[in-house]
Amino acid sequence: MSEHTPVLVVGAGLAGLSTAAFLGLHGTPSLVVERHPSTSTHPKARGQQHDVMEALGYVGLADAMVDASPRDRGFCLRIAESASGPVFREIMQDTFLPLDHLTPARSADASQASAERLLVDRARELGAEIRFATTLESFEQDESGVRAVLSDTTGTHVVHADYLVAADGHRSPVRERLGIGTHGRGSLWHAVLWVVRADLAPVVGDRQVLYNLQNPRLSGGMGFLVSTDHPDQFVVGVGYDPERETLADFPEERALEQVRLVIGTPEVEVEVLEADTTTAGMHVADRFSLGRVHLVGDAAHTMPPQGGLGGNLALLDGFYLAWKLAAVLRGEAGPGLLDSHDAERRPVGELIAENQYKNAIARSMPHLRRPDDTPPIEDPGLLLFGYRHNGAVVAEPGDAGELLEDPTAPTGRPGSRAPHVRLTGPDGELSTIDLFGREFVLLTESESWASAAERLATELGVRLRAHLLGRELTGDWTGKYGVTSDGAVLVRPDRFIAWRSRGAGSPADLEKALRTVLDR
């Protein structure tokens, strides 16, 4: 006996759960299967940047992520010899600037374990079914869908899905079975990890900390120390050579020696709770889509942790893919819309992964620097809000399709993120960003454009809403969007500009734009 689901998501990490939650936001149920018995219980990535928090706000999780963040604990990111010093550079003070000129969202510092638990609950509330201890044994696809064989404690089951989303990690059996290769800088660093319990308040205070360490006395010459959700627990890592060593070569005595070198205080009392190994590298899939299968998260891109955007990128992969899958499944869009997943997300994945490689070299592995290496981008506004999506948009004449533009000087070009503009309404102040996330939006001050949008929404069966600015919602928005008061801007559900008319135009122009973007 078999069952059917519109979307089968393989993997219940950040990317898979994000995909399921945002599919639910758009009214599309999904089945998520995860081979592990639960979400992550180990200290992993933490932190949700402002662009992610914008997206999470649309599914009602932004405040929950803030609440799940450690309270009253500042954050410190340093390059040092040890946690006790000397400190070579304090990254947060050097490069992280307030971003309220670009977004109404604030950042959060929830751990991956906390974030996944919140996403599971919300995805289920929005209609997703999530099965743990369930493995994808095999799958095959054709023009009509995907046939998957799943196994759990009760046996094997067949599921038919219209689409499959591979969120199954950096080794990604789905990607392997599709024969999709990877490219990038390769493996950079192999590390032994320990979760330790220690009172480090005299060293780090009461802050959340991340130290990238350069010290020839450490195994491999480098290491790190990072906080967890528990003030007295930390993750410590040092380098090792997997061709000559295994975890067994780090017995308790050597482990404690290395941990104390990382801390920089030999007499500190330390208890080792867990030990493991990991590999940091930079790999990007050669393609993010093949037929009815789409890659997200670590299945699509892995990168060194320096820069902290890997988990954020995984969450956003789900956000950007879900509305497209939902639109195709509802019949609002043709299947060609899904071709834009690779066209839009692979360049961004390559950009972020390469930048974090450069961060790793600068912060932890200067010996690997090459003469032609350029410095990393350290402007968070540019990385979070400056990339463009050159796929499901109506490009304007003369647009060369650049991947980046300065978000502090927005152009309003199709393919760029819709700029944050403060508006005033009957219920107080809000942002243009608050208007997006669920449907196509037409921003205009023109009655004729608004009427055209309302008519086309009905005729084409498209979720499209016009906001007639200058009436109930007022604000100086036209300059940042590059239009006059007679113009109009079509914004996709993911906040990216799909098309614009700089001035007055014809309803036929809007219809053509919608049909182009939606592959109709």
288-323: per-residue pLDDT in tens? 999 999 999 999 999 998 888 999 999 999 999 999
Residue 94 is predicted with a pLDDT of 46
- Which pLDDT tens digit goes with each residue over 144-159? 999 999 999 999 999 9
Residue 460 is predicted with a pLDDT of 96
Please give the structure tokens belonging to residue 439: 């449907």
Q: Which helix (H) or strand (E) holds 443?
A: strand 440-444
- Which pLDDT tens digit goes with each residue over 193-232? 999 999 999 998 888 888 989 999 999 998 999 988 888 9
- Which pLDDT tens digit goes with each residue over 230-274? 889 999 999 999 999 999 999 999 999 999 999 998 889 999 999
Taking a C-beta distance cutoff of 8 angstroms, is the pair 309, 359 a contact?
A: no
Output the average pLDDT for the chain. 94
* pTM strictly above 0.85: yes
Helix 50-58 × helix 14-25 angle, to 10°: 40
**Residue 73: band (very low, low, confident or very high) from pLDDT cuts 50, 70, 90:** low
Please give the structure tokens belonging to residue 323: 């509305």
Q: CA angle 243-248-251, nearest 5°?
A: 130
What single-letter amino acid sits at 334?
G
Whether the predicted pLDDT of 96 surpasses 60:
no
What single-letter amino acid sits at 98?
P
Q: Residue 508: CB partners within 8 Å, gap ≥ 6?
A: none
**Residue 133: band (very low, low, confident or very high) from pLDDT cuts 50, 70, 90:** very high
Residues 343-368: what's their mean pLDDT?
91
- Could you tell me the domains of the chain? 2-68+106-182+282-381 (3.50.50.60), 386-517 (3.40.30.120)
**How far from chain centre, in Å, is Cα 514?**
27
